[in-house]
Amino acid sequence: MYIVIAESGNLAQELVASFIASGDEVYILDTNEKLVKKIQADFGMVASLGDMMSIDDLTEAGVSRASIFIAGSENDYNNLAACQLVKNTLKLQKPLAYITTWITAKFLTNLT
């Protein structure tokens, strides 16, 4: 399975290690240069500097062939917007957004 994780911050290291251990292919897209370099040093070239709101960066990360896209920033609205961008523009059917506030979670629960 190919998984793209964007803006995951401190979760990135653990997620990459876990997915790779499970035999999955993982790619990290992040605006934090220090984090990207650390992941590259620890796991190889499975990360690049980029913005989850950029179609060019998402395309370069291979989102169109991903089984899963995870938007993991600490900003719920950016995560939801990135998931909509991936779903509507790059046609990925089930993107995942990391939700940090109970208000957003409650709102989304009421939508389903």
Question: pLDDT, tens digit, for every residue of 76-85?
Answer: 889 889 988 9
DSSP collapsed to 3 states, the chain: CEEEEECCCCHHHHHHHHHHHCCCEEEEEECCHHHHHHHHHHHCCCEEECCCCCHHHHHHCCHHHCCEEEECCCCHHHHHHHHHHHHHHCCCCCCEECCCCHHHHHHHHHHC
**For residue 79, what is the domain's CATH number?**
3.40.50.720
Our count of domains for the chain comes to: 1
Residues 6+ apart with CB under 8 A from 36: 28, 30, 47, 48, 49
Q: Cα 104 vs. chain centroid, distance in angstroms?
A: 18
Domain range for 77: 2-111
Per-residue pLDDT of the chain (112 residues; tens, 9 = 90+): 999 999 987 777 888 889 999 999 999 999 999 999 999 999 887 899 999 999 999 999 999 999 889 888 888 889 889 988 998 888 887 777 776 665 555 555 554 4
What's the CA gap between 58 and 4, in Å, rounded? 9
Which residues lie closer than 8 Å to 86 by C-beta, 6 or more apart? 58, 63, 69, 71, 92, 95
